[in-house]
Amino acid sequence: MYQKTQSKAATYTTLAPTTLASKITNAIIFMLALKNIFFSSDKMTMRISSPPFNLFIFAFFVVLFSAAHSAWSTPLMIPGKATNSKDLPYMLLNEFIQRSDRFDTIEFAYGDKGEASFSQTLADINAGALDIMWTATSKDYETDFQAIYIPIYQGTLGMRLAIINQNDKHKFSHITHKDDFLHYVACQGKLWADTPILEANNILVAKSLKYPNLFKMLSADRCDYFPRAIFEPWSEIERENQYNLTVDTHVLLRYTMPFLFFVKKDNTELSDHITQVFQEMKKDGTFDTLFFQDKKVKNALELSHLRDRIIIDLNNPFLSQEVKNIPPEYWFDPMNDNRTLLPPSLQEKTTH
């Protein structure tokens, strides 16, 4: 059912080579067949000597070919821009395109702009200007849109490391239980999906609407730590090097909050198609290979030493039943994973 090309090159602007060649061949055969039908008789040959009729026939074939090409070459409309094409969501979608019998290309709907506001992205999904988006899930998103219930980052978005002030690097060395954490204040975005999760677990939270302000708040001791997904903190403290920040080495906060793809609510055909292809990718190992090859994931596993940490599990009372039903093999468990999926270099660096 699905045509898989041999080349793994990204197909963001052109058709995959074997797909393009086969469809051009089919188009030529189709046009030649039409030529034989319309031009086989002597009478027809005489009639087309008229210039207006020639122009009509030419226009007819142009329109016909354009319609056929549009039907055969359907782009998957996504947010973002080509410079992000090595990030995991884009790599997964590119592999989906390689296997799809419905889509041949990826097209960035916002062009060089790259990203619209999140509210605009949601509106464009409903309007049909976008086919797909991705974000941390919530019940509201799952109600308003159709989720693809295969976690993009295999649950690592809900694994949180604490950014702290450099002079507080031993702040959490004594923590062994969730109750020990309740005395500390976390910095969080006011509208972030995981802020209610922390509050539901009685964790104190200092909030800001603006993401950059959270680093200022931490540096000014208005909060004790800034919990970030395991692939986020090192690049952030490098970028925000005007502050004296570091990453805690003792604790891992963990809660279930998957990063999912979403399509328009009534587009069950597309959601079923993507789900089936992703399931095939999971079964043949491609999904896990792309996950562990992702630069952010590799960096996180090399630096975070997850098995050396005290894990503090938090309850997420806002999970849908669909998320709860996601099979265990779609989640990465740093404590129990046998590491057979990791490249040897990462096995050596992350196993202690």
Do 252 and 160 meet the contact criterion of CB atoms below 8 Å apart? yes
pLDDT band for position 116 (cuts 50, 70, 90): confident
> pTM for this one?
0.73
- Give the side-chain half-sphere CA count within 13 A for 244: 7
What is the tens place of the pLDDT at every residue in 261-271? Answer: 999 999 999 99
Give me the mean pLDDT over the 153-158 stretch. Answer: 93
Residue 180: pLDDT over 70: yes
Residue 279: pLDDT over 60: yes
Calpha distance 260→40 (Å, rounded): 56
Domains in the chain, start-ordered, CATH in brackets? 17-119 (no CATH), 153-278+294-352 (3.40.190.10)
Tell me the pLDDT of the chain averaged across its residues: 81
Torsion-angle region of residue 125: left (phi > 0), alpha (psi -120 to 50) or beta? alpha
Please report, in angstroms and rounded to a whole number, the separation of the first and last CA atoms in the chain: 44
Write down the pLDDT at residue 184.
96
Report the DSSP beta bridge partners of residue 259. Answer: 136
CB-based contacts of 329, cutoff 8 Å, min separation 6: 282
